[in-house]
Amino acid sequence: MGGRAVVKVHEGRLDPNAPLVLSTHELGRRPGTMRTLRRTVPAPADLGIAVIGVPEGSDLELDLRLEAVMEGVLVSGTVRGRAVGECVRCLTEVSQDVEVEVQELFAYPGKTPAEVGEDDDEVREIAPGELIDLEPTVRDAIVLELPFQPECDGPCQQDYEIGVSERTLGEAEDTEEPADPRWAALQGLLEQQPGQTPSDTREKS
Ligand SMILES: [Zn+2]
């Protein structure tokens, strides 16, 4: 356990001006120190999936708590934004409010996963400059919250429902229709085989 290397999730120096890069400096490594952070920031790029996401630059409301603990800084709270995408059926623009809960521990540099109490080998570390990058955490949470197949609640929903019922009716009718004549002929042959009545009679005569 002690031999496992710490996987540093941050990549070197963070940009202190990035919207989701936060400073932990004020907490001063004193366990129990807490700071609340309420701020509206511009959403970073790629905050979503191909069909729907929070547009880059749109408002992202942060309502967070930064708390110094023994192992590092625990960040928790909610993040809100408005996702915009396309209806998968009619491509009309759809939008919906997204609110996600986040919780992430950022360890002081040099801590092993065991020391931090993580089961996996991944520990998010506080980067040089006492900065943390909340962007991956927020992205993961938002992606999980978004629908894979966004749907509008406009007329295409009704069309779709009508389409479904027509298809269901069609399937029901199909089962009552007589089978394809070619299959019927084959079916007849198969049914004759077990008793082999026709050939038997021919041999006898
Ligand atoms: Zn639609």
Reported as a single tens digit per residue, the pLDDT across 100-109 is: 999 999 999 8
| Sequence letter at residue 131 | L
Domain count within the chain? 2
Q: How far apart are CA 22 and CA 134, in angstroms?
A: 7
> Do both 136 and 183 map to the same domain?
no
Residue 30 within a domain: yes
Residues 162 and 85 in one domain: no
Is residue 150 situated within a structural domain?
no
Q: Is residue 36 included in any domain, yes or no?
A: yes
Q: Are 129 and 12 in contact (CB under 8 A)?
A: no
Measured CA to CA, the distance from residue 112 to residue 5 in angstroms comes to 7
Ligand 1 center from residue 141 Cα (angstroms): 25
Give the distance (Å) from ligand 1 centre to CA of residue 84.
13
Gap from CA of 94 to ligand 1 centroid (Å): 8
Residue 39 amino acid letter: R
Q: Does 105 lie in the same domain as 32?
A: yes
Distance 155 CA to ligand 1 centre (A): 7
Distance 27 CA to ligand 1 centre (A): 48
Residue 39 shares a structural domain with residue 73:
yes
Task: Tell me the CA–centroid distance for residue 51 and ligand 1, in Å.
Answer: 13
- Are residues 39 and 68 both part of a single domain? yes
Q: What's the pTM?
A: 0.70
Q: Domain range holding 45?
A: 7-145
Expressed in angstroms and rounded, the spacing between residue 142 Cα and the centre of ligand 1 is: 22
Q: What is the pLDDT of residue 47?
A: 95
- Does residue 79 fall inside a structural domain? yes
Residues 170 and 101 in one domain: no
| Dist. CA 156 → ligand 1 center (Å) | 5
Per-residue model confidence (pLDDT) at position 5: 45
How far does residue 152's CA lie from ligand 1's centre (Å)?
A: 4
Residues 53 and 124 in one domain: yes
Residues 82 and 90: beta-carbon distance below 8 Å:
no
Query: Cβ–Cβ contacts within 10 Å for residue 23, how many?
Result: 16
Residues 116 and 180 in one domain: no
pLDDT on residue 114:
74
Q: In terms of domains, do 100 and 183 share one?
A: no
Q: Residue 43: inside a domain, yes or no?
A: yes
Q: Which residues of the chain have pLDDT under 50?
A: 1-7, 172-177, 197, 199-201, 203-205
Whether residue 113 lies inside any domain: the answer is: yes
Q: Is residue 201 part of a domain?
A: no
